[in-house]
């Protein structure tokens, strides 16, 4: 939440270790020159692998150490944030979208998942990492991204968040179309993150 207000951890190359997230999840979050890791591991076990705030906290070997040999490791996402615009909502709730892959994924990682959308696609709003409000988007037809449908859907999604309140998104940097759409709609990068569901035996 501080990072959403441009108040970042010190650029000191260090790693802050916190308790694990609810629901069996853990994470490694990288800011500029500082990392935050939420895990059930002891600080000594984390520091023994020599992670740092300059990128090593997201290295494959360190993430596998966190997750254990059979644990699940999500992709590395760019962490973005914007502010809600409030006003009358521009999207209708979709109560019958539970079988959609985007919705199933959201429910596996987040709580209080709400689904909205229209003929362009759907968005989810949910409580995610550290309780923050998270937004995700998926168009029904990927070719529509070239027509501005992704940007217009994102703009409408921000009407579902009260004016001035922060909302976050985790976007794969390789998904350039999606990343460009979020940036064009006023989202700002604040770091990067990986979620994990460890299995350490």
Q: What's the pLDDT tens digit per position in 93-123?
A: 998 898 899 899 999 999 999 999 999 999 9
> What does the H/E/C string look like for 99-157?
CCHHHHHHHHHCEEEEEEECCCEEEEEEECHHHCEEEEEEECCHHHHHHCHHHHHHHHH
Phi and psi torsions of 16, nearest 5°: -95, 130
CA distances from 40 to 50, 66, 95, 113, 188 (A): 17, 9, 35, 25, 30
pLDDT digits (tens, 9 = 90+) for 42-84: 999 999 999 999 999 999 999 999 999 999 999 999 999 999 9
Spatial CA neighbour of 79 closest among 51, 58, 103, 52: 58
pLDDT digits (tens, 9 = 90+) for 142-172: 766 667 889 999 999 999 999 999 999 999 9
């Amino acid at each position: 939440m501080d990072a959403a207000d441009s108040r970042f951890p010190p650029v000191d190359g260090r790693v802050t270790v916190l308790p694990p997230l609810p629901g069996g999840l853990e994470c490694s979050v990288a800011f500029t020159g500082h990392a935050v890791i939420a895990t059930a591991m002891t600080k000594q076990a984390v520091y023994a692998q020599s992670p740092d705030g300059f990128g090593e906290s997201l290295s494959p070997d360190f993430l596998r150490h966190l997750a254990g040999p059979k644990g699940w490791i999500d992709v590395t996402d760019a962490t973005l944030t914007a502010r809600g615009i409030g006003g009358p909502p521009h999207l209708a709730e979709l109560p019958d979208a539970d079988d959609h892959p985007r919705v199933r994924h959201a429910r596996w990682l987040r709580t209080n998942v709400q689904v909205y959308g229209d003929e362009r696609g759907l968005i989810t709003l949910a409580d995610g990492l550290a309780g923050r409000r998270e937004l995700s988007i998926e168009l029904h037809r990927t070719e529509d991204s070239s027509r501005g449908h992704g940007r217009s859907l994102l703009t409408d999604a921000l009407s579902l968040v009260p004016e001035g309140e922060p909302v976050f998104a985790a976007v794969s940097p390789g998904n350039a179309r999606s990343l460009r759409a979020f940036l064009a709609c006023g989202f700002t990068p604040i770091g990067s993150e990986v979620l994990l569901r460890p299995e350490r035996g």
